[in-house]
Structure 1
Amino acid sequence: MPQFEVVNFAPQFVWLVITFAILYFGIVQLTVPKIGRVIGEREQTMSGDIESAEAAKAEADRIEGDYAASVAAAREQAREALNAARGRATKAMEQRLAAANAEVESKQSAAQAQLDAARTKALAEIEAVAAEAAADIVERLTGARPDSGKAVQAVQSVALAAE
């Protein structure tokens, strides 16, 4: 092979160095600035994206804070409305309870009046029956019937003494 002959080795080496130098400096001169520009643009884009992301995060944090504040305010309003409704319900219940108590008391007093009237009537009837029975007993024992007024007085005096 001719490329491995020592005579041809030196010229091939020179041409190799020249070709390498041309390609190397051509690539360095043409592509390195382009690569530098691309890297610079990429760095600017990334820093801009990072800044916009930080701004978006700050905005999101602000929105989150506003949302939390509005939720807290809504909860407080709901709590106040609930307390007001409870107060109104308690007041209405107290009014109904007072009306029911008044109705029960009126019914109780009416029932007590009826009971007292029935008791008085029953006692009067018992006194009349007792006076009649006492008059019958006295008539059987003595043969003479006592006055009905005196029999009633005697029964009443015995009833007062028993109390």
Structure 2
Amino acid sequence: MCLRTHLTMRLRERHPGNISGEHRSVLELAEAMRYELDLQDVDVSATREKQLNEQVNKNLKGGAISYSCSAAKPRTYSIRKGLGDWFRREKWWFSAISITSVACSTLWMSGTVAFWIWTFGLWIGQFWAFCICTTIGSRVLMIVLWCVAFVIIALPVTAVVAR
């Protein structure tokens, strides 16, 4: 519930710093009343309480106010829709990891150790790039670093296996 509320507030562009507390809500209420009663040019200290009460009951129907929002239903965050959007946005990465997983398992069974180690490095790089990185450049860099690391590991292993 906390996650859904947080994401809904972000969707509506109402960040925690923008939510009215006790002091800010009083000022917002006063500003809304000044606007609705058309009191921008009137000195409120000279107005009597009875006059304000009559205007509130007559013009504002008792003083009901609300935040401005469209007539349509306010947008709320849906976890199901969010997951669907995420899968659609990352479909190429899911495909790449799946293909590399199949290649790793096939090469492991074929016995080509050096190429399998490099392919496993590619898979590890894709996995961590997908989990940690957010931009394409950072993901490519992560994959290249893991591939280089596993090539460095594969060279001595290949030399030992070749003996």
TM-score normalised by structure 2 residue count? 0.26
Larger proportion of helix: 1
With a CA cutoff of 8 Å and minimum separation of 6, indicate the structure with the bigger relative contact order. Answer: 2
TM-score normalised by structure 1 residue count? 0.26
